[in-house]
């Protein structure tokens, strides 16, 4: 396979590229990434000299560039997106541009050049918010996005399916729950909390801390994407989850415990606007059809992730002291 991976310098995309080249050493990857605040080529040091890997800096909204690159590949995997809910609340323009228009550009380029597969990486957040007793989301759950981020992702999913139905473009989609693992940008819950504690700072818990997410180790997600790419059925959507529903406070207490700290390190802060209460995934379709299920136990994956942040402080300290500092202070106030 020759794959155009978009957004491959971000958290999940860079883990995917490292995972994929290890497991498919004869396949080729072109990584197209705009290198926004979230893109970081240091995530890809391990593969930068691999002759089957090439990096191109560019925007997925740039049709001429995408249309040229697509001629060199037979497959697109679209990871590129604006991904942080809090940022989408501060301003949604980039979210609509990249997540919706960028996906449209990729779809048109794929259609014009007769690609064999377009795999779209999506999220469980498109399904909305569950009550405590509701059944988990599955592939038939109606879309009900509630943040600018999830609304833009939902729009992109609809476009991808429209190109399947209207133009027979060979697509697949995966909707995955919250990922965690190495190289996650320190604006999401787990890396913010872990790096704050390493720095001796408190952890900001939004609202009452009882929102629930289903956590999956990033390699489990990427193994699922790999499987869908090779064995998934064209036109189908697959939901992937981590079998690990946790409240934010459960996670907070686990991390605090790993640092030998207690509740004195928690700072309850103002809740996120429109904060979705609960996400949960029923992944029985991909389990039944492709034999996939998550393998990493949450406690093991989280311990491994904490270790990674302890051992790679140069990586995140550079980020936390750079341009991102302004965002962090706007979000949480000076500290």
**Residues that bind ligand NAD in the complex, under the rule CB under 6 A:** 6-7, 9-13, 32-36, 38-39, 59-61, 79-83, 98, 102, 121, 123, 153, 176, 178-179, 185
Q: How far is it, in rounded angstroms, from Cα 212 to Cα 46?
A: 34
Query: Measured from the CB of residue 78, what is the shortest distance to ligand TYD in angstroms?
Result: 18
Quick check: 281 and 177 in contact, CB under 8 A? yes
Please identify, using beta-carbon distances, which residue of 18 and 34 lies nearer to ligand NAD. Answer: 34
Q: Which is nearer to ligand TYD, 175 or 178 (CB)?
A: 178
Given ligand NAD, ligand TYD, none, residue 206, with its beta carbon under 5 to 8 Å by kind, binds ligand TYD
Residue-wise burial string across 93-121, b where 16 or more C-beta atoms lie within 10 A, e elsewhere = ebbbebbbbbbbbbbbbbbebebebbbbb
Catalytic residues: 124-125, 149
Nearer to ligand TYD, 116 or 270 (CB): 270
Q: Which residues bind ligand TYD (CB under 6 A)?
A: 85, 178, 188-189, 192, 204-206, 211, 213, 248, 272
Identify which of residues 91 and 262 has a Cβ nearer to ligand NAD in the complex: 91
Min dist CB 20 to ligand TYD, Å, is 24
State the nearest-atom distance from the C-beta of 276 to ligand NAD, in Å. 13
Of residues 197, 195, 187, 214, the one with CA closest to residue 272: 187
Partner in contact with 18, chosen from ligand NAD, ligand TYD, none, beta carbon below 5 to 8 Å by kind: none
* Closer of 62 and 202 to ligand NAD (Cβ): 62
Q: Helix and strand tally (H, E) in the chain?
A: 13, 12
Q: Coil, helix or strand for 277? A: coil
Q: Which does 205 bind (CB under 5 to 8 A by kind): ligand NAD, ligand TYD, none?
A: ligand TYD
| Locus of tokens 């801390």 | 209
Cβ burial of 14 (10 Å; 0-12, 13-18, 19+) is: buried
| Closest separation in Å from C-beta 154 to ligand NAD | 11
Which among ligand TYD, ligand NAD, none contacts residue 34 (Cβ within 5 to 8 A by kind)?
ligand NAD
Q: How far is the CB of 207 from ligand TYD (least distance, A)?
A: 7
The partner in contact with residue 301, picked from ligand NAD, ligand TYD, none with C-beta cut-offs of 5 to 8 angstroms by kind, is none
Angstrom distance (rounded) from CA 89 to CA 82:
12
Closest CA to 267 of 219, 328, 205, 222: 205
Measured over the CA atoms of residue 41, residue 44, residue 49 and residue 55, the dihedral's sign is negative
Q: Which does 66 bind (CB under 5 to 8 A by kind): ligand TYD, ligand NAD, none?
A: none
Give least dist CB 331 to ligand TYD, A: 8
Q: How far apart are the first and last CA of the chain?
A: 48
Tokens of 160: 């991808």
Angstrom distance (rounded) from CA 148 to CA 126:
10
Answer for the pair 309, 191: CB distance below 8 angstroms, yes or no: yes
């Amino acid at each position: 396979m020759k794959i155009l991976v978009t957004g491959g310098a971000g958290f999940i995309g860079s883990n995917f590229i490292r995972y994929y080249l290890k497991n498919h050493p004869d396949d080729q990857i072109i990584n197209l990434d705009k290198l926004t605040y979230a893109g970081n080529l240091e995530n890809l040091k391990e593969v930068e000299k691999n002759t089957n890997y090439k990096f191109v800096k560019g925007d997925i909204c740039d049709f001429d560039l995408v249309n040229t690159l697509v001629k060199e590949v037979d497959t697109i995997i679209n990871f590129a997106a604006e991904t942080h809910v809090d940022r989408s609340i501060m301003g949604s323009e980039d979210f609509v541009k990249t997540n919706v228009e960028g996906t449209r550009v990729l779809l048109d380029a794929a259609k014009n050049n007769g690609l064999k597969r377009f795999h779209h990486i999506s999220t469980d957040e498109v399904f909305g918010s569950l009550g405590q007793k509701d059944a988990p989301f599955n592939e038939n759950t109606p879309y009900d996005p509630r943040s600018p981020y999830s609304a833009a992702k939902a729009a992109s999913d609809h476009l991808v399916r429209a190109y399947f139905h209207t133009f027979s473009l060979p697509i697949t989609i995966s909707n995955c729950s919250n990922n965690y693992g190495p190289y996650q940008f320190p604006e999401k819950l787990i890396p913010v909390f872990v790096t704050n504690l390493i720095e001796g700072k408190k952890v900001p818990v939004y609202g009452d801390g009882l929102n629930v997410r289903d956590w999956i180790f990033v390699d489990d997600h990427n193994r699922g994407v790999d499987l869908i790419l090779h064995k998934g059925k064209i036109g189908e959507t697959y939901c992937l989850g981590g079998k690990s529903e946790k409240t934010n406070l459960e996670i907070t207490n686990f991390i605090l415990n790993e640092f030998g700290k207690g509740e004195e390190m928690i700072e309850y802060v103002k809740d996120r606007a429109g904060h979705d209460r609960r996400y949960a995934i029923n992944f029985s379709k991909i389990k039944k059809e492709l034999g996939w299920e998550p393998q990493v136990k949450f406690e093991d994956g989280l311990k491994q992730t904490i270790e990674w942040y302890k051992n790679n402080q140069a990586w995140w300290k550079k980020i936390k002291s750079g341009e991102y500092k302004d965002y962090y202070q706007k979000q949480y106030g000076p500290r």
